[in-house]
Structure 1
């Protein structure tokens, strides 16, 4: 009976937090995109425009990306993943201060604010990626993915990494503004190392081992394995990527717990 009552209590708590996160998510949509023009559709139209612009530029200039893959497919799988992991920290750093008034409600915690913003960013990037894939396949620019489940696996791992990194940096950002100042240049420096613009197999053998220490590279390689199948030779370390995600998640949760005790509602 005790275990049943505990499960019932946990279920009620989870339902309450689910409603809190949903309310915060809707508030974030209205605050960020408003009701004018196309409103919340900008959530995924914006990343679609960015990815499409990069794809067109690569196609026009016939950019060399170190493989024989079609430029459209290469750009889509690479740059969509960049938007996934890079935008989430941007939204979590500095997320608590404009929402301090909400902390008067006992059911609203910093992790709820982070979760709402992470769901919004991940959802926008995912809808953009799926929509562009379907559209490009329809007009003949792309072939369907060889293994959808492997693409989903790689996508979810990059999302997990981005979410844990975002919560960690978001929590640290409440302690010092240096986090925000350093993250923006670091994110731009990490972009060329993220695997979006190259295949690991195209690098010198000596460099391949070291570039896989960048967690995002493993996820992008996994996505491309699922999308292109036997057309490409990929390199990734799934154990390393999972380890990075787990460690970052634990660090993020510890920091979020720490700032939850220190925050004073306004």
Structure 2
């Protein structure tokens, strides 16, 4: 436990809270990534390696991109929002399991653990996005979308979904700790069905109708629509936003009923 959290000080409530949050973020990064900056760099690069391995496999097999002329751009526009959603939703859950003993300190609340991990994952996600964009530029692919604001909104929506689902995951593991393994298996199915490697809109209409209930799929299409406006992708923006908001609300409501259990 960082000494900075334990030591009392004459600070305003806001300053004290920010101090605790800062200490939790530093502790989170050091315990997960190691004391070296290279450890954190590995985590930033991991989703990038995932994306470019996917590109390399499809390039080696000479499989054309389902949309557009560039495989790298197609896979990146689908994989980045889906991976951001999955990383945030998973790591928020893991933060509570890993840092649960910290809640015995009166300065640290369960929500602080969740919030600090969300901030770390948001920063990590944006750094990964910058790395992916830089590599695309290096290999001669233009990563600037036709509608930049649309791409940013889709990316933020993916983060919102991750926060909402992650909050519910925290509540679930308060009663069923084994859910971490269950969610890992569920994430595989979710990833495959989110349209990272194919165009869901090319599926039969009845199949596509049910697939669109997956908000991660719509987040990926939201980002893709910024790069391929001619594809005519129909995204229910309200559904994606409300899904994230509703999930967060439900998760916070459930947390009120599991805080005493997890801190006890």
For structure 2, which runs of at least 5 residues remain unmatched after alignment? 1-11
Report how far residue 186 of structure 1 moved.
0.9
CA RMSD of aligned residues (A): 2.1
User: Does 243-252 or 253-262 show the bigger shift?
Assistant: 253-262
Conserved 8 A contact 1:218-1:236? yes
Deviations 1:211-240 (A, max 9, x none): 21111111111101112333x221211111
Deviations 1:49-84 (A, max 9, x none): 222211211222233553234110011111122221
Separation of aligned partners in 1, 2:53 and 2:96: 33
Conserved 8 A contact 1:201-1:233? no
Q: Counterparts in 2 of 1:82-101, with a 5 A limit? A: 82-101=82-101
Conserved 8 A contact 2:92-2:166? yes
What is the TM-score when the length of structure 2 is the normalising length?
Answer: 0.87
Conserved 8 A contact 2:168-2:254? yes
Q: Which residue of 2 aligns with 1:9?
A: none
Q: Which residue of 1 aligns with 2:251?
A: 252
Report how far residue 190 of structure 1 moved.
1.2
Q: Counterparts in 2 of 1:49-128, with a 5 A limit? A: 49-128=49-128
Aligned residue pairs, count: 253
CA spacing shift, 1:69–1:219, aligned 2, 3 Å: farther
Separation of aligned partners in 1, 2:27 and 2:261: 24
Q: Which residue of 2 aligns with 1:261?
A: 260
Conserved 8 A contact 1:65-1:199? no
What is the TM-score when the length of structure 1 is the normalising length?
Answer: 0.86
Separation of aligned partners in 2, 1:13 and 1:222: 40
Report how far residue 191 of structure 1 moved.
1.2
Conserved 8 A contact 1:66-1:202? no
CA spacing shift, 1:218–1:37, aligned 2, 3 Å: closer
Conserved 8 A contact 2:93-2:170? yes
CA spacing shift, 1:154–1:15, aligned 2, 3 Å: farther
User: Does 36-45 or 163-172 show the bigger shift?
Assistant: 36-45
SS of the aligned residue for 1:18 comes to helix
For structure 1, which runs of at least 5 residues remain unmatched after alignment? 1-11
Q: Counterparts in 2 of 1:1-266, with a 5 A limit? A: 13-36=13-36, 38-230=38-230, 232-264=231-263
CA spacing shift, 1:199–1:14, aligned 2, 3 Å: farther
CA spacing shift, 1:14–1:196, aligned 2, 3 Å: farther
